[in-house]
Amino acid sequence: MRTRRAACVLLALGLLAGACGRSSSEKSSEQQSTEQGSTATTSAASAKCQGVQLEAADTGVTADTITVQVMADTGSPLAPGLFQGNLDAMQAFAKYVNANGGVGCRQLKVETWDSKLTPDEAKNGQINACSTAAALVGGNSLFNPDATPMSTCPDAKGQPTGLANIAAIANDVNEQCAKNTFLIQGMPEQCPADGSIPTGTRDFTGIIGPVQWYQQNVEPNLVGLFLVPGDLPTTVQSATYNIAAQAKAGVQWIGAVKSSGRDEQSAFTPRVQMAKNGNANYVYDGSADFVMVNMRREAAAQGLDSVKVWACSVACYTDKFKAAGADVDGTYLYMQFLPFEDKGANAELDNYLEYNSTPVSWGAQAWMAGVLFQQAVDKIVEAQGPNAITRASIIDALDNFGTFDANGWMGPKNPKGGFSDCMVMLQSKGGQFERLFPAEKGQLSCKPEYLTTVTLDPAVESGKIQ
């Protein structure tokens, strides 16, 4: 059991590290108004701080500080330091915020909790947050199947308000669909309003913009092999809607094969042979960075030369992938937020890079979660004053937030779920990532047709994958 959990960690990361973005050659008027609105809200909220006698308003909100907790898997011996980037990002965010006036007329205090890749510690982390924090912000705990504490824990008045969970990434559907969860990461399905867990045949949203770009710019007739994260039933299921969405966009699949976190390069021999036998010109890594690295290396060893598109998600946007150098040259990947290479093109991205010396994609999403929390608190202060900041008002502000774009770093997206229709295309070259589309730094291409809807039962479809 412990080995299986270690194996699935990076695979789940590969599936779930995506976020969102917006625009092509110019920022749309929608994005410009969003950024200007954020600035106006912050200024109005700051003005509301003047001459007010601050009070302790709720658990986690004193007269001087607002406490949030970031929970992530960092200390497990199975994957030491796995999501340390989330903790680093939130601590850096607090330094930035406090150096620039604080939040809610107070200083931001960040507590950390190591969920250790275990459901028990994830639940204990919620319980701890319930006793000390105004909200959970920036978290990334892969095994979080019981969201009861954060959904129902009492506030300072004893009411079962729970507390907001502004997650960078939520892997478990029980966390994703909890009534108080708000996500930076895109979500493929709509959760029931009552917080129950969806089952059976239902609609899923898939992003097909990258496939369309490959078809228009590299190969119009994609014949593909999909590498599925295969260690747990839930990770296999999470690949099914992506497979179906790409098929709807015109990809002819020769197969979908499971990969494990335990696989060495030799395990990819039959997968390369399958690609050879099927004349595949497209290989999509729906898993983690090391899966593509091993597949590329084994393909080179076996002389597989029919593949024109080696493709990955933001899961390959890592230093480990860059370190593979020439072995992965030419691999395409898409992201839904501005990459770090766009430094200087977006103020919020620059803030993250300035205050965080070890930037990673999941840390970027944690910072975005911090921005969402800050803007929600700003709205409360602007409308009701700084002593109205409670767990209930934070949840209400997030429930009615509308779209969020992290000040233009990611495309507009509702924090309650869904995807942005935005992307940027990159390619690995010489140990670096090169921007391909849109060509201009600081821009993301956004079109409604980049998204599609498929209807399936993931439990049934996953049973068809060998």
CATH number at residue 325: 3.40.50.2300
CB atoms within 10 A of CB 247: 17
Residue 355 maps to a domain: yes
Tell me the residue range of the domain where 428 lies: 203-335+421-462
Do 135 and 44 fall within a single domain? yes
Mean pLDDT over the full length of the chain: 90
CA–CA separation, 332 and 412 (whole Å): 24
| Same domain as 46, residue 164 | yes
- Whether 324 and 352 map to the same domain: the answer is no
Residue 404 domain-assigned?
no
Question: How far is Cα of residue 133 from the mean position of the Cα atoms in its chain?
Answer: 23
Consecutive H or E run containing 102 = none
Per-residue tens of pLDDT for the chain, all 466 residues: 333 344 344 444 443 433 333 333 333 333 433 344 445 556 667 788 999 999 999 999 999 999 999 999 999 888 899 899 999 999 999 999 999 999 999 999 999 999 999 999 999 999 999 999 999 999 999 889 999 999 999 999 999 999 999 999 998 888 999 999 999 998 888 888 777 888 899 999 999 999 999 999 999 999 999 999 887 787 788 899 999 999 999 999 999 999 987 899 999 999 999 999 999 999 999 998 999 999 999 999 999 999 999 999 999 999 999 999 999 999 999 999 999 999 999 999 999 999 999 999 999 999 999 999 999 999 999 999 999 999 999 999 999 999 999 999 998 999 998 889 999 999 999 999 999 999 999 999 999 999 999 999 999 999 999 8
296 DSSP 8-state letter: H
Q: Indicate if 324 and 347 belong to the same structural domain.
A: no
3 state DSSP class of 334: strand
What integer pLDDT is reported at residue 45 of this predicted model? 72
Pair of tokens at residue 180:
């108080």
Length of the chain equals 466
User: How many domains, the chain?
Assistant: 2
According to the model, what pLDDT value does residue 41 have?
59
Q: Does some domain include residue 67?
A: yes
Q: Which of 394, 303, 318, 329 is nearest to 363 (CA)?
A: 318
Tell me what pLDDT residue 35 has. Answer: 43
331 and 351 in a common domain: no
Residues 330 and 388 in one domain: no
Q: What is the pLDDT of residue 231?
A: 78
Residue with tokens 């604080």: 102
Contact 203, 433 (CB under 8 A): no
Residue 238 lies in a domain: yes
152 lies in some domain = yes
141 and 240 assigned to the same domain: no
Residues 238 and 369 in one domain: no
Is 196 domain-assigned? no
365 with 233, same domain: the answer is: no
Q: Does residue 365 sit within a domain?
A: yes
Residues 309, 222 within the same domain: yes
Residue 14 resides in a domain: no
Q: How far is CA 48 from CA 1, 36, 57, 61, 269, in A?
A: 53, 19, 16, 17, 64
Q: Are 112 and 131 members of one domain?
A: yes
* CB burial of residue 65 (10 Å; 0-12, 13-18, 19+): middle
pLDDT value at residue 9: 44
